[in-house]
Amino acid sequence: MRLILFDIDGTLIYAHGVGHRSFVTAMQSVFGTAGPHDTYDWRGKTDPWIVRDLMRLAGIPDDVLEARLGECFEMYVRSLEVLLADGHPVDVLPGIDRLVHALAAREDVLIGLLTGNVKPGAEAKLRSTGLLPLFRLGAYGSDAADRRRLPVIAHERARALTGAEIPFADTLIIGDTPLDVDCARACGAVAVAVATGQHSLSELQALEPDLVFQDFGDVEGSLQRLLTFFPGSEQAHSGSARAAQEGS
C-alpha cells in the first residue's frame, strides 16, 4: 500500500489569501498587532510557527504569546469561517479534483493530508471543495509546529486506521514549497513537488525532488508517475529526469 500525503495551500487549492487575512484579523484582535505580516515569508510554514514568528518580531513576550495562542487560533478559525461563508473564493487547482478522486478509489492507496494548517482551518478551507471526505487521515500544524514531525504523526494514524505499517519509502509527500521537499527528505519519504504555488518550476527542480510537476492537469500521466515511482529504481530515475526536462 502507498500512503500519499497532500499539502493544502498551493497544492490542492488556491484560497486567494483567506488564511493570511484571517490571521491578520486574529492577531490584531488578540495581541493588538499583526507584526510585519506583509513582508514575512509565510510559504510552507506551519500556522503555529507563523504566529510565533510574527508576534516575536512584533515584540510580544513569549509568556503572553503562549498564554493566548489558543485564543488566537480560535479567532482565526472564526474569521476564516465567516469569510468563506460570505463567498470568499477557494479554487481547486488543475487536475486535483480528478486526481484525488482517482486515488481515493484505489484499494492499494491511502490518501491523507500533511499540512501546516491547524486542523479546523484545513477543514474549513477544504469543506466547500467536496474533497475533504476523501482524505482518510491528516497531520496538521495543530499537531506539531515543526513540519518535520508531521510524517511520523501521519504514519501513526495510518497504522491505527489500517493496522498496517507503511514504510516511509512507500510514502509520497506532495507539496509546493522547499519546506515540503525538506519534510519528505527528513523522514525518507518520496518528495513530490508541484509548481502550483508561489515557487516556480525551476526553483523546485533545483531542490532535486524525486518527482516534480508543473501541475496535475494531465491526470492520467500524473497517476502513472505517482503510482509507479519507487526510490532507487531505474524507472524512477528516468521518470524524474524526464519530468524535469518536460516541466510537467
10 Å CB burial of residue 236 (0-12, 13-18, 19+) is: middle
Name the β-bridge partners of 212: 193
- Reference 17, options 231, 197, 171; nearest CA is 197
With left for phi above 0 and alpha for psi between -120 and 50, is residue 171 left, alpha or beta? beta
Q: What is the pLDDT of residue 232?
A: 65
| Residue whose C-alpha cell reads 495562542 in the numeric block | 69
Provide the whole-model pTM.
0.92
So where are the chain's domains? 2-15+91-246, 18-85
Three-state DSSP class for 86? coil
**In a 3-state reduction of DSSP, which class is residue 150?**
helix
Rounded Cα–Cα distance for residues 119 and 142 (Å): 6
- Which of 158, 159, 151 has the alpha carbon at shortest distance from 187? 151
Q: Give the per-residue pLDDT at 233.
A: 55
User: Cα(5)–Cα(133) distance, rounded to whole angstroms?
Assistant: 14
pLDDT at 231: 80
How much is the mean pLDDT over the chain?
93
Residue 217 CA to residue 209 CA, distance in Å, equals: 19
Residue 128, pLDDT score: 87
CATH of 2-15+91-246, one of 1.20.1250.20, 3.10.290.10, 1.10.150.120, 3.40.50.1000: 3.40.50.1000
d(CA 109, CA 229): 13
Fold of 18-85: DNA polymerase; domain 1 (1.10.150)
Q: What is the DSSP string of 208-237?
A: --SEEES-S-SHHHHHHHHHH--TT-HHHH
Q: Assess whether the region 2-15+91-246 and the region 18-85 belong to the same CATH fold.
A: no
Which portions of the chain are predicted below pLDDT 50? 234-248
Contact 215, 94 (CB under 8 A): yes
Predicted pLDDT of residue 239: 44
Residue range 92-131, pLDDT digits in tens: 999 999 999 999 999 999 999 999 999 999 999 999 899 9
